[in-house]
Amino acid sequence: MDFVPHTEQDREEMLAALGLESVEELFRDIPAPLRAESWDLPQPKSELEVIGHLEDLAGLNAHQLTCFLGGGFYDHFIPAAVDAILSRGEFYTAYTPYQAEMSQGTLQSIFEYQTAICRLTGLDAANASLYDGGTALYEAAMMAVRKTGRKKLIVCNSVSPIYRIILESYTVNLHLDLVEEDLCDPASLEDLMDGDTAGIIVQNPDFFGRVHDYSPHFKMAAEHKALGIISCNPIALAVLKTPAEMGADIAVGEGQPLGLPLSFGGPYLGFMAVTKKLLRTMPGRIVGRAYDQEGRSGYCLTLQTREQHIRREKATSNICSNEALCALAATVYLSLMGKQGLVELAQLNMALAAYARERLTAIEGVELVDQGPWFNEFRLSLPLDARVVASRLIDRGIAAGFPLGRYYPEQGNNLLVAVTEKRSKEQIGYLAEGLEAIL
């Protein structure tokens, strides 16, 4: 199966037009000594055979576990209409909308996405998307470095460790000073701030599910002419104090909760919104409203002089493709959930998490690590190594949560439990029973 429509006659006619005998003659610029010696690849297969093979592989994955795993990536319900729209070939087989007149569908959907992200964060401008929440945080950090001309980034240690290790990998060659501390108490920030601080980076809800008000942090950042960067969960933004209300300069986050399947880590969606003064230093595509000669309104890529295809080595980022289709999914999802629906969804997540906290902490030896308040995730301390407990609960069909010892060695007995609207009271009950039985 090769999806090529040519018949042998088509090929012969095309070769004849070129005055050639065989197609190999077209490859004569490749010097003979450099030609591939082996080409040891499998025989072609039919669609039926490939799908059968992949179904077999899919069957080896434990996706049917009852999922209390979160850590920034959540098992939310996805309405069927999202995939119905994503399956439109006009959307998913198009490319970046360079030719605006024939790409108004993609362009307007991105414009509506930017609008949604701005309304959720309260900030002034959003881009068309970045790869994921982790790389979005890196791009935000680099914006702070470029904008301030400074080298120090102060990162709260309750920012996702999964993101912090990415930041560390990227910044090692750039001679940036990455300072990681517990910043929950704004007083702890005071000592770290100095004239070389480019930005401070916090997360809401933080990696442990706790909800914060970072207003004092961002105020301090502004006083030192550093940027305030916040990574946030977009569903939580339905109810949480917005990045704008706290005084953040840049809000980023992982858009996966907005209608994207977990899909073993991707494709996901990095969102970014900024204040007006940072607009022209923002990376990535941006769509704006524009008018044609007859006064008809439409949409086009705009502020392109920031981008690599124009500015080359002076661009604000090297990003080219983003995650447009994932941004479309998020836009459809947010449109379906709507103004009321998203708030109610957030509240339901919080209520179910409260129920789970009550059920789980009723078990002897199981305690909450934090005082709250929380969104839909929380840490439990267990009397045993959480890795062992989680592993035993897998045998009962439950992914009980994420053992924090992996990233926080001192927290070997702590388990991070996430509860979404997909978890029923009964499932929470099974988790409680299972945990009780093991302990």
Cα separation, 423 vs 429, whole angstroms = 10
Q: Comparing C-alpha atoms, which of 240, 236, 263 is closest to residue 326? A: 263
Q: Which is nearer to other proteins, 194 or 318 (CB)?
A: 318
Q: Which is nearer to other proteins, 40 or 410 (CB)?
A: 40
Q: Which is nearer to other proteins, 69 or 144 (CB)?
A: 69
Q: Which is nearer to other proteins, 192 or 215 (CB)?
A: 215
Shortest separation between residue 325's beta carbon and other proteins, angstroms: 3
For residue 178 the two structure tokens come to 């990455």
Shortest separation between residue 272's beta carbon and other proteins, angstroms: 12
For residue 133 the two structure tokens come to 């929440």
Q: Comparing C-alpha atoms, which of 286, 340, 274, 254 is closest to residue 113? A: 286
Q: Which is nearer to other proteins, 366 or 398 (CB)?
A: 398
CA-to-CA separations, 416 to 102, 388, 408, 413, 420, in angstroms, rounded: 47, 14, 12, 10, 13
Shortest separation between residue 160's beta carbon and other proteins, angstroms: 8
Shortest separation between residue 155's beta carbon and other proteins, angstroms: 15
How far separated are the first and last CA of the chain, in Å rounded? 54
Cβ-count burial of 109 within 10 angstroms (0-12 exposed, 13-18 middle, 19+ buried)? buried
Shortest separation between residue 374's beta carbon and other proteins, angstroms: 8
For residue 380 the two structure tokens come to 């439990």
> Could you tell me if 237 and 257 are in contact, meaning their C-beta atoms sit under 8 angstroms apart?
no
Shortest separation between residue 191's beta carbon and other proteins, angstroms: 25
Q: Count of residues for the chain? A: 439
Shortest separation between residue 126's beta carbon and other proteins, angstroms: 7
Under the phi-then-psi rule, with left for phi > 0, alpha for psi from -120 to 50, and beta for the rest, what region is 419? beta
Which strand (E) or helix (H) includes residue 18?
helix 8-18
Q: Which is nearer to other proteins, 110 or 224 (CB)?
A: 110
Q: Which is nearer to other proteins, 87 or 149 (CB)?
A: 87
Q: Which is nearer to other proteins, 142 or 226 (CB)?
A: 142
In degrees rounded to 5, what are phi and psi of residue 354? -65, -45
What distance separates the 2 farthest-apart alpha carbons in the chain?
Answer: 84
Handedness of CA 147, 149, 154, 158 (dihedral sign): positive
Shortest separation between residue 235's beta carbon and other proteins, angstroms: 11
